[in-house]
A and B are shown apart, each in its own frame.
Chain A
Amino acid sequence: AQSVTQPDIHITVSEGASLELRCNYSYGATPYLFWYVQSPGQGLQLLLKYFSGDTLVQGIKGFEAEFKRSQSSFNLRKPSVHWSDAAEYFCAVGGGILTGGGNKLTFGTGTQLKVEL
């Protein structure tokens, strides 16, 4: 069964500092990986996704993530955090065609990011 682990429940960074949010996945084949962000009272917005190819993917709002197959990780990074980045971040894995015709996403428990001014 596919699973996602986000080991950090809360992270606090100062505005302008760099950020790395950790994500580890378990999946039997090549995973499709996603990062979503949820602001208070809002839905889930897609930040970036990895399907294949270049293991470093760029997303919106200056975020990037690196797929490391050997470590089963897909960590999210941003070189300089802005106060508006405060939100909850979810890593997700999807199975694509290997899920028997379905395409469900399995989410991690999320990391709540707080930005100190």
Chain B
Amino acid sequence: DSGVTQTPKHLITATGQRVTLRCSPRSGDLSVYWYQQSLDQGLQFLIQYYNGEERAKGNILERFSAQQFPDLHSELNLSSLELGDSALYFCASSGRQASTLGSTDTQYFGPGTRLTVL
């Protein structure tokens, strides 16, 4: 158990809908990362938040957005869903100390949320 929790575990929805995925980082971790794992794209970095602020952005679609709340949990919002958005979405956390930001952070991954768009 990595200490990172993600809910829900599975999500089935229809095209055009909007969903919210939730992540709770390890206790004390300040950074949260979102990754997408799909058969055609593999594991891809979406976005990173550090202590409530966006820190880095990857190949995240404009239909997707994220935020990190004061209690450090994070939510990934996916809207106008398409069939191709079906994937496993992982959250990871790192950085229990402010001084480790951007240095040798080790990312610990949650179990993922499997999204199926029908």
Tell whether A45 is near chain B: CB-to-CB under 8 Å.
yes
Cross-chain contact B31 with A103 (CB below 8 angstroms):
yes
Which residues of chain A in 80-100 are interfacial with respect to chain B, using CB atoms and an 8 Å cutoff?
90, 94, 96-97, 99-100
Compute the total of residue contacts between A and B using a CB distance below 8 Å.
Answer: 72
Q: Which residues, 66 to 118 on B, are CB-close (under 8 Å) to A? A: 90, 92, 94, 101-112
Whether the Cβ atoms of B90 and A43 lie closer than 8 Å is yes
Number of B residues whose C-beta is below 8 Å from A?
29
Other-chain residue from A36, A44, A104, A107 in contact with B48 (beta carbon distance below 8 A)? A104
Q: Is the CB of A103 within 8 A of B111?
A: no
Structural contact, B90 and A109, CB atoms closer than 8 A: no
- Contact indicator B102/A43 (Cβ below 8 Å): no
Minimum CB distance partner of A102 in chain B: B56
Point out the residue from B42, B102, B104, B105 that lies within 8 Å of A107, measured CB to CB.
B42
15 intermolecular pairs with C-beta atoms under 8 Å apart: A34-B107, A36-B109, A43-B110, A44-B109, A45-B2, A46-B108, A97-B102, A101-B56, A102-B55, A102-B102, A103-B31, A103-B105, A107-B42, A108-B42, A110-B42
Residues of A participating in the B interface, judged by any CB pair closer than 8 Å: 32, 34, 36, 42-46, 49, 51, 90, 94, 96-97, 99-110
